[in-house]
Structure 1
Amino acid sequence: MFNCKPIFIVLFLLTTVCTFTISCSEQRRTVVKNFPIDTPFVYNNKIILKGNLPKDEKKRLLTALENYWDDSLLARREQIFLFFYTLKNPPLFDSVNISRTTTFMNGYLNSQGYYYPKYQDTFYIRKYRRYRRWHKKRDLQLQTTVELTIEPGKNMEIDSVYYSLLDSNLQQLALAKRQDSKLKPGGPYSKEAVASELDRLVNQYRQNGYYLLTRDYLIAEGDTTDKALLQLTIDPFELASRLASAADRRKKNPTVDVAVFQRGDYYRKHYSDSSIQDSANLKPYYIGNLYYFPETKATEIPDTLMNANGFKAEEHKSFTMFYKEGTFIDRPIRDHNYMRRGTLYNEDLYYKTVNNLSNIGAWARVDTRSVIRGDSVDFYMFLVPAVRQNITYDLEASYNTGDVIGAANSLFGIASSVTYRHRNVAKRAIQSATSLRGGVELNLNNSNNGNLIQTTQASASQRFTFPRFITPFRIKGSNKLDAMQTAFSVNASYINRRDYYELRSLVTGWGYEWKIKNRIWTYKPLNIELYALDTLQGLREAFQTNPLLRTAFNTGSVVSQQLSYIVSYPDKKNPGINNYVRFSMEEAGFLLGRFKEMQDRIYQYIKFEGEYKRTIPFRKTTVALRAYGGIGLSYSDKAKFGSTLPFFKQFIAGGPNSMRAWGLRQLGLGSSLLSDTSGSFRDRYGDMQLEVNAEYRYPLATMGSVRIGGALFTDIGNIWNIKRTESNPNSEFNLRRLGKDVAIGIGTGIRMDFSYFLIRVDFGIKLKDPARQANNGWLDISRFTWRNDEFQPIKDATDASGQRLINRNNYAIQLGIGLPF
């Protein structure tokens, strides 16, 4: 029998040691090498920001200012193992170098709109003697910590913004989209905001034909002059008073007027660069000829192909296609060419064409060349085909401990798959993927009637992706969408859960996917799922103790439509913070359910899911947050289908990617004890799920190309039924009982990042278990045990001898591939 207890003890001790080590300061965990003896050297740097700054702004400034230490004052530490660091060849300390650092930091703060910062520097030297064993002597280290206290003052605000462009067309375009300006009166001033505004203007101009216009043709000026000083006076005392008042106002409430000018005649005396004065660069251009080379080889040079012979030319309304072998027809290029001859050059349409052709999958790379001809621009598009066909092999593995079907088992899952891909079916850039997959769940405790294999899975799937919308009618506005695809898929699978059930399924669907900027939409108007379920002896016995399972495990078909929405975006105040939002819904049986002859054959339900993830990076560590919610409602009035969703559409909790202190499918429902006290079927499926996860990730060591990291995490949540059932009390969601029902797990983990994949091992402890009777479900650390023995010993119904007992653990170990969220 596989005994995991030594592993638990090692992980627990490792967590304790890591926690104690982290509590020590970084200085105490740093080894200094090659330091100057009896001479002060830079050992540590510290910045303290004072003033009434918002929390996010303070964090942003602190992170940025760390990059502006002068090299002669910077102590560069390198991580060597776990939480220990080394400092090699630290620089000699010289107080003169502090002034250079304040100059660098002052320049950065000025660029962010802080023009009146105050600096106070200090340093202190710590004497430390290091004993060298071989030389039998102690070397004196004079470790110097340089501390810089900065009070940035108040951020300068924008008082007004105006445009003064000599070209009437440029002036009109600037005023037409003024509401999109990055510079807002009353908003904070910074050089980054000014640069963003100039980039916005250039992008707007290049959308309207100004192909050669760049930022060199625009300039922004900031005027901080106090308007009260423009009133003339001959009284020197009044003038001095006005100057003093103006200086005081600038410090208390600094403002700036921003003006955008055109570098041209107005600034001729300041700029001598003749290219800036070239009027040819300040006129609109039109799209000329478009030439596509869809069979360009990776070794061929585009510039030589422009005038090469031997190509066959195929003329089309908007472009000309040159080819030799005829590997591609014109349809995929025609569907994703958004530039038209004779129209004004639009840079957004140019990049949209390049990006969409690159994302189809048939071409690995798209290179372009342009030639100006009068007031037109000819474009040469060189498309390098991707590898047409390939076969990939994948191996997956997972491990989790906890209560699982039939016993308190340790499950090890292993699966392999082979996928054949064809990236240019019928010469139309259609993507084809054919997959075969097989896997097993192994019962390492050898329970379940002594069978090592607990679950067997096998599946075959085929998917075709067409690089356009295939619809019986034209979709209005589809030319404004990106990455348009039509997908057709079919999947056949077989699952054998030994002694419980055999499930055969055939799933096919037709759907569409598209992007709008950073938003991804998927709509599947037709999704058909056919299921055949054979219940075996173990499941039939479970029906007797839990009748609710009978309605979840039934035979029916699904005819549904599905919609999902995904968006990923950076935080506005801190671009380093990434946010991810996903919503999805599925509706089944609404239309076909109106026909009486179909009501006994198809499921009728509606299901919603929502997920939010936020990743907050720090200098060396990362905090990852996740919130998830899902709910499904069955509205069929047939007793055959009952009041719950079919089990393959229900929610589950526990395992490597959910509540990690519980085994797979071993949490819930609510605070019900029906499954925990069952000796047969112990899997849990619910119609509602709420979950919140938080994880603190930190680096541990680097071994070659493998980065090893650690994590501290907590998982909070549970699954419930929607409707109350007498046979399973406390399983339905009730807001008044939420505090009792919620489960809380805490733990630690190790991540091994091999760049192309990541292996993760997590160890979780049930801090609050709804099934724990003592202490209102909370863990009593003074009476901690690895197993929960509150209930009478439960015999394993799957054990032929009738002697094996089921154990309920207070922990779980999870093995996963990739990050949990």
Structure 2
Amino acid sequence: MKVFQGALCNRAKIGLLLLMVTLAGCNTLKKVDDDQLLLTNNTIYTDDEKVNESDLKSLIVQKPNSSVLGYPLRLNLYNLAKEDSDSSFQNWLHRKEKREKRLNRLLSKKQVNRLKESFVVKGASDFLKRIGEPPVVVDTSLAQKSVDRLKAYFNSKGYFNNKGRYEIVEGRRKKRAAVDYKIALGMPYMIDTVLKNIVSPELDSIYNISSSKSFVKKGEQFDLGNFNLERERLTTLFRNSGVYNFQESSINYDILRDTVAASDDKLMEVQLNIQKPRSSDAADSLSNFYRVHRFEKINIYSDYLIGGSRDSLNSLEYNNYTIYFNDKLKYKPKALVDAIFFQKDSVYRDLDRIRSYRQITNLNTFKYPNIELIPDTTNARLISNIYLAPRPKYSVNFSFDVTHSNIQQIGTAFGATVVTRNVFGGAETLNVSARGSIGLLSDASLSDETFTSELGGDINITFPRIWLPFNTERIIPFYMLPQSRFLVGTNFQRNIGLDRQTFNTILSYNWSPNLSLKNELELLDIEFVRNVNPDNFFNVYQNTFSNLDGIADDFEDNPDFAGFYDENVDPNLDEDDELDLIISEGANSFIDAILTPGFQVSQDTLAAVRSIQERRQRLTENNLIFASNFTITKNSKDDINDLDFYQFSAKLESAGNVLSLMANVVPYNENDNDQLLVFGVPFSQYLKTEFDFIRHWQVGDASVLAFRSFSGIAIPYGNSDNIPFVRSYFAGGSNDNRAWNAYELGPGSTSNLNDFNEANLKIALNFEYRFPIAGDVKGALFADAGNIWNVFDNEDNPDAIFTGFESLGDLALGTGFGLRYDFSYFIFRLDVGFKTYNPAEEISRRWFRDYNFRNAVFNIGINYPF
């Protein structure tokens, strides 16, 4: 809580300071002396040609002050700070003769002295200096250092005779200057011949087999980067070919010519040297050379304790592995052996060691393992000791969240999970979870009660292998970290929507062919949704009720309909005021009366009431979803600090086909709509596919351009003419189009058609520029485009249906800005979105009609939206 309070305090301070900067029009040159020049720009030229490569710019030692959209915010914040706050305070204190005496009587002398350390006097200046930046003034020594760096860089690219200098270019505005760095490259050196000097015969043989893959090749320009890549390649090659102790430092290159003397001949010979191990013993001739090692023995210690004695351990042999344990072996031998990729008599590979680390960690049963290699130099054999320290058998996790939504003003959610490891002795993990929540309804008309509640639980068991009746190891080997998951869960909601009860079962498999690729197959995804309180429909979907009530206004004088309206009429109402239908008895009876065969009503009214009835029936009926899906995800992100990466995800889902095929064997009942029923519920049948692409580009040191595109479509067929609400798409919200609230946008060019608008086709495009402001405060400018539509279903409103490329004119555009506060372990986010292009308006009123703070949408979120 203190962290949040401190962060809010900091944000308030920064907001005040930003206002001060804007109002005061801070002088950028305030702390630049008369004999100094403020650095405004760096430009690099090679052979009089301007270059903008980020690698080169990073070599410049002195860079201009950072800016936010061209404004030097941090510099001006620094300029607001007082250089000597103590002296300023003393001058103010003694400026008037009796000021100090009056303050001493009012506050006491001790408190007056403490004013010097207060935030207003000293703390504000310290804070401004901490988040701000001092002016960057041109420093010739740093400029020359940058020239030397640039020359060294081009030396590494083969331009050994390059020359460099810098020029200070004073700007038109006073006390400002830019620095131009000019490098004359000359002709590059080319590799003529690659020689080799490899003292180990075994390494020489391995090298010859893979020499065609070398990064250092005849006829190419000298590039030190390629030599470094080749050293890394060879180190990886040798360590994956049995040379477990190979050191990269054993590799070096000699350039066999003088590159200092000027010459028209730019060809060079290079020699690859692979020397003996540094630790080789001159007295032992066998240790003078790197050798290929094979495994003699592999020992697994399943109950390892640091400092514990090994003499009292029991052991057993299993498939050429020796497993040591205390008293009784708690794990199935196969589960342990499957996680180890070393094999007796096989050649050592670093890749197998890394895969063993990953798979042991993937078991979720042991702490990070320790793998020890003991060499026998005489016979080039290895003994491997693998020490496994068990994690606790049981653990308990608790969670607590505060939530807010368009239904709940405020809510609290809590949960607990009991984790049991190694349930059946095969490193299985069992999670038993319980969760609940309680919240305050945002609108009392939604229910007779004030509070909402939710209670649910899951039983989830994970197997560290593909759990199928046949062997899949050849297709999905263990180094791909295979997992099987079986989940059974239920959830009960009360006074949220229609008081929904959900029962779900999932059998899924996931595996990772490599570090950047992950596959997931949900073989069974069964979900049963039961709406306990369907009579609450018109309370929840008030826009739908308003449309129906508007139609009913034309039938108030019909005596047969008198019982449909609220008789508790306010006597002060004018005679022209309309009566309201009773929820829900009156509304339901009115629909039944209008749809009674033979009732005289216009075709438009009949179509509108039938549409409302179909929607009510769809959203209140129970759903049975029996689906399977496959998802592939590729992520090029190296680590959490990687700001330049892409992520792609594709998903294909099919529902209802198995149940439809079974209908040929086991006859099902049917309802009035000719839908097949399973346990009295029509099952859903559809095909769904999604594509999600995210791309981040790093701009400068800490700024990022982020882009996301999403498209998804779900097509009903067979036993369904629409998509279940829980599997449909919606638009708007803090992670989508931020100029609209969740479920508010679309479908198509409709406006507030329903309280919770959803459809079966979605397109979303998001673009965001993220930049640092001051300290842990960051900013963003964003543009979100997208919408949802109906297609290939039973929707008959032409404004909500996607008909072709012309429907792309219904793509809504929201733009805005955001502030983020970085807590290191998560990001607190506030975004303000403005409706820039609203397809629900008339064509002439779509652009910038609601572009103001009164109609802005404020979104609060945790972490970035994409």
CA distance in 2, matches of 1:413, 1:458: 13
CA distance in 2, matches of 1:539, 1:67: 65
CA deviation digits over 1:647-666, x for unaligned, max 9?
Answer: 11111112221112211211
Does residue 608 (structure 1) correspond to residue 675 (structure 2)? The answer is no
Amino acid at match of 1:104: R
Q: Tell me how far 1:693 sits from its aligned partner.
A: 1.4
CA distance in 1, matches of 2:642, 2:214: 19
> Pairwise mapping of residues 800-819 of structure 1 onto structure 2 (< 5 A)?
810-819=855-864
Does residue 61 (structure 1) correspond to residue 40 (structure 2)? The answer is no
CA deviation digits over 1:482-514, x for unaligned, max 9?
Answer: 21111111111123454x523222111222111
> Counterpart in 1 of 2:181?
149
**Cα distance change, pair 50–732 in 1 and its aligned pair in 2 (3 A):** farther
Q: Given the two structures, how large is their TM-score scaled by the length of structure 2?
A: 0.71
**Cα distance change, pair 533–450 in 1 and its aligned pair in 2 (3 A):** closer
Q: Which SS does the other structure have where 2:824 is aligned?
A: coil
Does residue 628 (structure 1) correspond to residue 625 (structure 2)? The answer is no
> Counterpart in 2 of 1:432?
430
Does residue 732 (structure 1) correspond to residue 801 (structure 2)? The answer is yes
> Pairwise mapping of residues 693-704 of structure 1 onto structure 2 (< 5 A)?
693-702=766-775
Contact 2:41–2:178 (8 Å) recurs in 1: yes
Q: Which SS does the other structure have where 1:418 is aligned?
A: strand
**Cα distance change, pair 114–17 in 1 and its aligned pair in 2 (3 A):** farther
CA distance in 2, matches of 1:463, 1:490: 7
More strand by share: 1
> Pairwise mapping of residues 196-595 of structure 1 onto structure 2 (< 5 A)?
196-221=229-254, 246=265, 260-263=272-275, 280-297=288-305, 300-301=306-307, 308-324=310-326, 326=328, 328-329=330-331, 330-373=333-376, 374-399=379-404, 411-412=409-410, 414-440=412-438, 442-444=440-442, 448=446, 452-453=450-451, 456-475=453-472, 476-479=474-477, 481-496=479-494, 498=496, 500-518=497-515, 519-534=517-532, 536-539=534-537, 542=544, 544=609, 546-547=612-613, 549=615, 550-551=617-618, 554-570=621-637, 577-595=644-662
Amino acid at match of 1:716: A
Q: Tell me how far 1:742 sits from its aligned partner.
A: 0.5
Q: Tell me how far 1:156 sits from its aligned partner.
A: 5.5
Q: Which has the bigger relative contact order, CA under 8 A and spacing at least 6?
A: 1
Of 684, 704, 708, the residue aligned with 2:777 is 708
CA distance in 1, matches of 2:631, 2:518: 8
Contact 2:365–2:427 (8 Å) recurs in 1: yes
Q: Which SS does the other structure have where 1:683 is aligned?
A: coil
> Pairwise mapping of residues 638-657 of structure 1 onto structure 2 (< 5 A)?
638=719, 641-642=720-721, 644-657=722-735
Unmatched tracts of structure 1, length 5 or more: 1-10, 70-75, 129-141, 227-239, 787-809
Q: Which SS does the other structure have where 1:211 is aligned?
A: coil
CA distance in 2, matches of 1:757, 1:95: 41
Q: Which SS does the other structure have where 2:782 is aligned?
A: strand
> Counterpart in 1 of 2:82?
none
> Pairwise mapping of residues 70-81 of structure 1 onto structure 2 (< 5 A)?
none
CA distance in 2, matches of 1:578, 1:686: 31
More helix by share: 2
CA distance in 2, matches of 1:532, 1:522: 28
**Cα distance change, pair 30–158 in 1 and its aligned pair in 2 (3 A):** farther
CA distance in 1, matches of 2:181, 2:353: 49
CA deviation digits over 1:150-192, x for unaligned, max 9?
Answer: 4475895976785635455434433434564445778775323
Contact 2:637–2:644 (8 Å) recurs in 1: yes
CA distance in 1, matches of 2:145, 2:723: 68
CA deviation digits over 1:371-396, x for unaligned, max 9?
Answer: 11231111222222233322222233
CA distance in 1, matches of 2:353, 2:520: 25
**Cα distance change, pair 785–708 in 1 and its aligned pair in 2 (3 A):** closer
CA distance in 1, matches of 2:527, 2:51: 48
Amino acid at match of 1:585: L
> Counterpart in 1 of 2:227?
194
CA deviation digits over 1:32-75, x for unaligned, max 9?
Answer: 5xx9x8875x8648531235999997123213444899xxxxxx
* Seq. identity, %: 20
> Counterpart in 2 of 1:685?
758
Contact 1:715–1:744 (8 Å) recurs in 2: yes
CA distance in 2, matches of 1:386, 1:609: 38
CA deviation digits over 1:349-406, x for unaligned, max 9?
Answer: 1221122112321122212222112311112222222333222222334446xxx67x
Q: Tell me how far 1:279 sits from its aligned partner.
A: 5.2
**Cα distance change, pair 264–759 in 1 and its aligned pair in 2 (3 A):** closer
Q: Tell me how far 1:461 sits from its aligned partner.
A: 0.8
**Cα distance change, pair 342–183 in 1 and its aligned pair in 2 (3 A):** same
Q: Tell me how far 1:114 sits from its aligned partner.
A: 5.2
Amino acid at match of 2:696: T
Contact 1:157–1:185 (8 Å) recurs in 2: no
CA distance in 2, matches of 1:117, 1:353: 49
Does residue 667 (structure 1) correspond to residue 748 (structure 2)? The answer is no
Amino acid at match of 1:120: R
CA distance in 1, matches of 2:795, 2:137: 77
Q: Which SS does the other structure have where 1:108 is aligned?
A: helix
CA distance in 2, matches of 1:328, 1:57: 61
Q: Tell me how far 1:768 sits from its aligned partner.
A: 1.4
Q: Root-mean-square deviation (CA), in Å?
A: 4.5
Q: Tell me how far 1:343 sits from its aligned partner.
A: 1.2
Q: Which SS does the other structure have where 1:501 is aligned?
A: coil
CA distance in 1, matches of 2:421, 2:788: 42
> Counterpart in 2 of 1:807?
none
Contact 1:397–1:816 (8 Å) recurs in 2: no
Q: Tell me how far 1:691 sits from its aligned partner.
A: 1.0
CA distance in 2, matches of 1:559, 1:151: 67
Does residue 174 (structure 1) correspond to residue 243 (structure 2)? The answer is no
**Cα distance change, pair 591–444 in 1 and its aligned pair in 2 (3 A):** closer
> Counterpart in 2 of 1:99?
144
Q: Which SS does the other structure have where 1:371 is aligned?
A: strand
Task: Identify which range, 117-126 or 284-293, moves more after superposition.
Answer: 117-126
Aligned residues: 707
**Cα distance change, pair 327–701 in 1 and its aligned pair in 2 (3 A):** farther
CA deviation digits over 1:414-460, x for unaligned, max 9?
Answer: 4222222223323432112222222356444655368654x543321
Q: Tell me how far 1:577 sits from its aligned partner.
A: 1.1
**Cα distance change, pair 548–198 in 1 and its aligned pair in 2 (3 A):** farther
**Cα distance change, pair 62–126 in 1 and its aligned pair in 2 (3 A):** closer
Q: Which SS does the other structure have where 1:481 is aligned?
A: helix
CA deviation digits over 1:552-579, x for unaligned, max 9?
Answer: 653332222221111211599x975121
Q: Tell me how far 1:287 sits from its aligned partner.
A: 1.0
Contact 1:182–1:193 (8 Å) recurs in 2: yes
Unmatched tracts of structure 2, length 5 or more: 1-10, 65-73, 79-125, 546-608, 669-675
Q: Tell me how far 1:723 sits from its aligned partner.
A: 2.5
Contact 2:159–2:189 (8 Å) recurs in 1: no
